Amino acid sequence: MASAAAASQALSCRPVTTDEVARYDEQGWVKLPGLVSPETVRVLLDMAKARMGEEAQGNAVSPMQQPFFNPEVSDGPASPVLRPLIDGIGASAKTLMQRRKGLGVRYFGDSFAPKLPAGRETRHPGAGATYYHQDFINWGLDRSGGMTFWIALEDLAEDTGTMSFLDGSHRLGALGHYRSYEIGNDIRDDYPEIVERCSQIGPVTYKAGDATVHSNLTVHGAGENLTDRPRWAWIIMANPEDARWTGAPPEAFLTDSMSHLDRLDDDARFPLIG
Ligand SMILES: O=C(O)CCC(=O)C(=O)O
């Protein structure tokens, strides 16, 4: 459990640098060493384990059936402990987006994302490889610009199933929904040409508190977790303030009270964070 002392501590992250913004623009992703402090990592990991247990399987089985990791949402921006951290990430997302002056950034969602050991029996999905995909189409939004920060909560070596990216793939447009590839599960089967056009970078090695951030048009994937422990990470997504729902069924949010082309302007669910 997060201790009272830790819970009273305001969590935060450092801002992105000018060089990181330039590399994100060029590559569609960038590594952010030491994005969050060791104290912030400890509080996040405590929160995750309080919900999921040491084996990362103590939570309810998610209705979202995907093999990438076992998802568990945090208390999000409503949490006074998390909010300063989420606002810091929103500020960096705004810098990375490089959109017009005055346009804000909205929180889109977050999740603890432990990849379960491939060699273990589990009642949860989440012990497979993350087959290569883009996030954009699945988000059900009319414009790109959104991104995911992927933050390591422990030192993570390649064999834990860390992230890889196809450099520059964010410039190739929308390449299909991740559940729709016709040949295999993997975008590289349907689009072998992207492997020729974009170098694969990774699997990335992370120290606890290191992060990567990728555009929702950047192709990414990860191997299986070949260790006997969960791969602990926390992911948080941000979108431009002017993004609108396309009307397609997204996996990332409920659309019950929404109409086609509504903005994500429900401030309780998608608060402005940058
Ligand atoms: O953590 C993973 O293995 C996959 C994460 C992912 O697909 C994402 O952050 O968009």
| 3-state class (DSSP) for residue 261 | coil
Q: What does the pLDDT average to over 106-110?
A: 97
* Ligand 1 atom nearest to CA at 231: 1
pLDDT of residue 182: 80
Q: Is the pLDDT of residue 120 over 90?
A: no
- pLDDT value at residue 121: 81
CA dist list (Å): 59 to 7, 31, 94, 180, 211:
21, 30, 33, 28, 24
pLDDT in tens, 153-192: 999 999 999 999 999 999 999 999 888 888 878 899 999 9
71 vs 9: which has the higher pLDDT:
71
Across residues 117-127, what is the average pLDDT? 88
* Phi and psi based region of residue 225 (left: phi greater than 0; alpha: psi -120 to 50; beta: remaining): beta
The pLDDT-based confidence of 2 (bands split at 50, 70, 90) is very low
Q: Give the pLDDT confidence score for residue 115 in this predicted structure.
A: 98
Average pLDDT over every residue of 122-126: 86
Residues ≥6 apart with Cβ < 8 Å to 70: 52, 56, 57, 59, 62, 113, 114, 115, 116, 122, 124, 125, 126, 230
Residue spans of the domains in the chain: they are: 12-240
C-alpha of residue 270 to centroid of ligand 1, in Å: 20
Helix (H) or strand (E) holding 73: none
Sheet holding 130-133, edge to edge: 130-133, 220-222, 163-166, 200-201
Query: What is the mean pLDDT of the segment spanning 206-214?
Result: 98
- In short, whether 164's Cβ falls inside 6 Å of ligand 1 is no
Is 245 in contact with 261 (CB distance < 8 Å)? yes
Query: Which is the closest atom of ligand 1 to the Cα of 135?
Result: 10
Closest residue by Cα to residue 141 from 177, 113, 116, 180:
177
Q: What CATH number is given for 12-240 in this structure?
A: 2.60.120.620
pLDDT band at 3 (very low <50, low <70, confident <90, very high): very low
Q: What's the mean pLDDT in 92-111?
A: 96
For residue 135 and ligand 1, the question of a CB distance below 6 A is answered with yes
Query: How many other C-beta atoms lie within 10 A of the C-beta of residue 195?
Result: 15
Determine contact, residues 38/207, Cβ cutoff 8 Å. Answer: no
pTM over 0.85: yes
pLDDT band per the 50, 70, 90 thresholds, residue 1:
very low
